[in-house]
Amino acid sequence: MENNKKFAVIGGGSWATAIAKMLCENQEKIAWYMRSTYALEHLKHQKHNPNYLSSVAFDTDKLQLTNDINEAIKFADILIFAIPSAFLSGELEKMTESLEGKTIFSAIKGIVPETSLIVGEHFHSQFNIPYENIGVITGPCHAEEVALERLSYLTIACSDKVKAKYLAKNVSSYYIKTKTSDDIVGTEYAAVLKNIYSIAAGIAHGLGYGDNFQAVLMSNAIREMKKFIKKVHRMKRNINDSAYLGDLLVTGYSVFSRNRMFGNMIGKGYTVKSAQMEMSMVAEGYYAVKSAYNLNLEYKAKTPIIDAVYQILYEGKDAKAVFSKLTEKLD
């Protein structure tokens, strides 16, 4: 792959900001689209995102900032989407520029509600992007630790290994280590499911369950994830790799995990709406659990943890009662 490919980051949140920081370590100029005019102007003049990872200072000479998604698409060969899945369709409706010939990497950890597809499948089915031009960026990696330049690991998945290696090289630095994978479907589903299990971990904590139960919950979660992904996309993969198990663990245990925080509030008795209002960031797992639950009506994998979280968030069942029953199903 040529060495002069240009990048654009689509999104203005914490993960988009972290990815922009990583790319700026290696690129002379990147395009960065964000919807908020206020955030854009603040970034131009104050050199940091006012809403997310505000400690990260940017060299604005390296940024082509825009609130026109078409300008970012026109600028770049490689587009990295990092916006909540629930808002993806709305942003894509603004497009007039063609995606033909572009490489799309998803840093979105969710299912697109309008199509019930993971992001890669959505781009393939709705925009005819060939799978060799679609990739996934996954962890274990929290944006907050990227901001602090704490050692972090990324997995870059694409069926075209050359494209995966090219992106990996361009986000690598002394604090970011990367590996590549060809399992774009499995890694993307793992990134979706781990947010649901993180909500479960948060609910358990909010209800007063201790570390012993959390360990049992997480060990059951990785086995449940393996069964689900195997039903959806059968191929040889090691579920204990960091893209699957590692990403699950960091999301389930970290103080930076917004999904765990959301679940913790639910366990403490918050309603879904009140928990969402109190959080300034989107908990992707809330949307993911409905999509995964409905998808599993077709695949019929055994998923007691997903079922339990769905009952609490969407059927309004009492969290304490649901988890009491769940404890009998885990081993």
Q: What's the pLDDT at 213?
A: 96
Q: What's the pLDDT at 96?
A: 95
Using one digit for the tens of pLDDT, what is the confidence trace for 298-327?
989 999 999 999 999 999 999 999 999 999
Percent of the chain at pLDDT exceeding 70: 99
Using one digit for the tens of pLDDT, what is the confidence trace for 191-220?
999 999 999 999 999 999 999 999 999 999
> SS3 for 288?
helix
45 vs 285, higher pLDDT: 45
Mean pLDDT confidence for 250-256 = 87
> Residue 54: which pLDDT band, with cuts at 50, 70 and 90?
very high
Among candidates 119, 99, 117, 100, which has minimal Cα distance to 109? 119
- Alpha-carbon distance of 255 to 268, in angstroms, equals 16
For the cut 80, the answer to whether the pLDDT of residue 1 exceeds it is no
Both tokens of 183, joined, read 């399992």
Both tokens of 303, joined, read 């998923």
Percent of the chain at pLDDT exceeding 90: 79
Q: What's the pLDDT at 140?
A: 87
30 and 8 Cβ atoms separated by less than 8 Å: yes
For the cut 90, the answer to whether the pLDDT of residue 156 exceeds it is yes
Q: What's the pLDDT at 86?
A: 86
Q: Of 141-145, 201-205, 223-227, 282-286, which gets the smallest average pLDDT?
A: 282-286
C-alpha separations of 143 from 205, 214, 235, 284 in Å: 23, 24, 30, 15
Active site residues: 194
Q: CA triplet 156, 221, 112: central angle to 5 degrees?
A: 55
285 vs 165, higher pLDDT: 165
- Alpha-carbon distance of 294 to 287, in angstroms, equals 11
Query: What is the distance between the terminal CA atoms of the chain, rounded to a whole angstrom?
Result: 48
For the cut 80, the answer to whether the pLDDT of residue 3 exceeds it is no
Mean pLDDT confidence for 8-31 = 96
Among candidates 41, 32, 42, 29, which has minimal Cα distance to 12? 32
> SS3 for 210?
coil
As beta bridge partners, residue 180 has: 156
Mean pLDDT confidence for 221-226 = 96
What's the pTM?
Answer: 0.89
Q: What's the pLDDT at 2?
A: 66
Q: Average pLDDT of the chain?
A: 93
Q: What's the pLDDT at 43?
A: 95
Q: What's the pLDDT at 33?
A: 98
Mean pLDDT confidence for 36-46 = 95
Mean pLDDT confidence for 76-103 = 94
Contacts of 211 (CB under 8 A, 6+ apart): none
For the cut 90, the answer to whether the pLDDT of residue 95 exceeds it is yes
327 and 234 Cβ atoms separated by less than 8 Å: no
DSSP conformation class of 65: E
